[in-house]
């Protein structure tokens, strides 16, 4: 049996738990609304190729792609029902769950710690993470790099309070970085690769040995409960897209670059840093995500403790039935 077949079977089993526990009897969906960011290269590739549309058409399901500037905004869209499924980094789901958002984790991509980093201008006197004490660091609040920054500071003997965070979305952060309005910038690919190639950025440190940097696939709980077959097809198509990238990075980059608005060379660098292979969350991955949640609560970045288990398909469905 192939790895792809095994992953598909595990995915259906995980989603079936939610369906059975919730007792969902909703009619199958006729549309799949996908929230994505420009950094979500596999979603961008699928959008460019139209492969998912062709895959779901025989089932009578249309596909709508909805772009968001970053993960926190995507989670807002998921929470208000503007999208059915989204793809984000580690931090946004935790901030959203702490705020009462209802969703389920339906899958994750492998750890990719080199896809995020703290950068400074190439001629900056700042050489190490320890040099960041007292400095202004741009980042997207509640994003993947928020956790990266916290853990890098901790590893180098600094506290979060030792720096001044400047909360900006990627486009505004890049402008501030280029104008010298901030001392450093915590950012993820492909924006990271673009900053290195076009904005004279130099890495101080990436996530290697500090964070795992998993990426997560989230869904509205009701949608996941009623439409596991649609999410199964989405994941199967995403695995096919991953194989396409791994087999021919230059060709994949040429397809993705126009939609990301980046040079092909930048996209190639970004694609090579990521690891691909969507699968249902294992206990180890869920435990890693719980560490992220606990860190944010300890720092008072979220208002209450978050239990990742409550947002896993079977548990989320059971909590709904119990009226929790």
Q: What is the pLDDT of residues 165-199, one digit of tens each?
A: 999 988 999 999 999 999 999 999 999 999 999 99
Which among 206, 234, 261 is the end of a domain?
Answer: 206
| Strand, coil or helix: 317 | helix
Token representation of residue 267: 């996209």
In this structure, the answer to whether residues 7 and 71 fall within a common structural domain is: yes
Examine the domain organization and report whether 163 and 243 are in the same domain: no
Q: Which of 187, 206, 225 is the last residue of a domain?
A: 206
> What confidence tens digit (pLDDT) does each residue in 216-255 have?
999 999 999 999 999 999 999 999 999 999 999 999 999 9
Does residue 125 share a domain with residue 80?
no
Q: How far apart are CA 27 and CA 11, in angstroms?
A: 21
Pair 74, 202 in one domain:
no
Q: How confident is the model at residue 13 (pLDDT cuts 50, 70, 90)?
A: low
Structure-model confidence comparison of residues 263 and 70, the more confident one: 263
Judge if 163 and 285 occupy the same domain. Answer: no
- Give dist(CA 235, CA 251) in Å, integer: 21
Q: Which tokens in the block code for residue 280?
A: 């249902």
Distance between CA 145 and CA 71 in Å, rounded?
11
> Both 145 and 167 in a single domain?
yes
SS3 category, 79: helix
Same domain for 304 and 219 = yes
Dist CA 322 CA 248 (whole Å) = 48
> How large is the average pLDDT for residues 140-150?
89
Q: Can you tell me which residue has the tokens 């096919």?
A: 240
Handedness of CA 162, 168, 170, 174 (dihedral sign): negative
Which one is predicted more confidently, 323 or 305?
Answer: 305
Q: Which of 149, 175, 206 is the last residue of a domain?
A: 206
- For residues 51 and 237, is the Cβ–Cβ distance under 8 A? yes
| Alpha carbons 88 and 270: distance in angstroms, whole number | 16
Whether 294 and 278 share a structural domain: yes
| Tally of structural domains, the chain | 2
Whether 220 and 72 map to the same domain: the answer is yes
pLDDT band at 290 (very low <50, low <70, confident <90, very high): very high
Q: Please check the confidence at residue 68 and state whether its pLDDT lies above 70.
A: yes
C-alpha 249/C-alpha 100 separation (Å) is 39
pTM of the model: 0.84
CATH number reported for the structural domain that contains residue 121 in this entry = 3.40.190.10
Range with lowest mean pLDDT among 6-15, 112-121, 204-213:
6-15
Query: Are residues 221 and 94 part of one domain?
Result: yes
Same domain, 30 and 177: no
Q: Sign of dihedral through CA atoms 94, 96, 97, 102? A: negative
Angle CA 166–171–176, to nearest 5: 45
Range of the domain at 138: 113-206
Contacts of 205 (CB under 8 A, 6+ apart): 117, 118, 128, 129, 152
From start to end of the chain, where are the E strands? 31-36, 62-67, 85-88, 104-109, 116-121, 136-139, 164-167, 184-188, 201-206, 215-219
Does residue 31 sit in the same domain as residue 180?
no
Q: What share of the chain has pLDDT > 90, as a percent? A: 77
């Amino acid at each position: 049996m192939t790895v792809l077949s095994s992953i598909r079977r595990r995915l259906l089993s995980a989603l079936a738990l939610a369906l059975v526990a919730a007792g969902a009897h909703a009619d199958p969906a006729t549309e799949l609304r996908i929230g994505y960011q420009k950094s979500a290269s596999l979603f961008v590739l699928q959008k460019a190729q139209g492969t998912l549309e062709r895959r779901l058409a025989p089932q009578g399901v249309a596909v709508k792609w909805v772009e968001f500037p970053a993960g926190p905004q995507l989670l807002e869209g998921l929470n208000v029902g503007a999208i059915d499924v989204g793809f984000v980094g580690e931090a946004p789901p935790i901030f959203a769950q702490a705020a009462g958002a209802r969703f389920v984790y339906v899958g994750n991509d492998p750890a990719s710690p080199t896809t995020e980093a703290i950068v400074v201008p190439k001629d900056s006197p700042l050489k190490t993470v320890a040099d960041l004490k007292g400095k202004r660091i741009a980042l997207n609040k509640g994003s993947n790099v928020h956790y990266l920054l916290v853990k890098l500071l901790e590893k180098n003997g600094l506290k979060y309070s030792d720096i001044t965070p400047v909360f900006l979305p990627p486009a505004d952060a890049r402008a501030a970085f280029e104008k010298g309005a901030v001392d450093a910038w915590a950012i993820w690919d492909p924006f990271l690769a673009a900053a290195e190639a076009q904005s004279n950025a130099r890495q101080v440190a990436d996530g290697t040995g500090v964070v795992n940097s998993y990426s997560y696939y989230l869904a509205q709980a009701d949608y996941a409960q009623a439409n596991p077959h649609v999410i199964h097809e989405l994941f199967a198509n995403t695995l096919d897209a991953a194989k396409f990238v791994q087999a021919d990075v230059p060709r994949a980059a040429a397809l993705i670059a126009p939609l990301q608005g980046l040079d092909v060379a930048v996209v190639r660098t970004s694609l090579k840093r990521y690891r691909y292979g969507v699968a249902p969350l294992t206990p180890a991955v869920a435990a890693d995500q719980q560490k992220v949640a606990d860190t944010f609560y300890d720092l008072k970045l979220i208002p209450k403790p978050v239990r990742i288990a409550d947002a896993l398909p079977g548990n989320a469905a059971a909590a709904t039935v119990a009226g929790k």
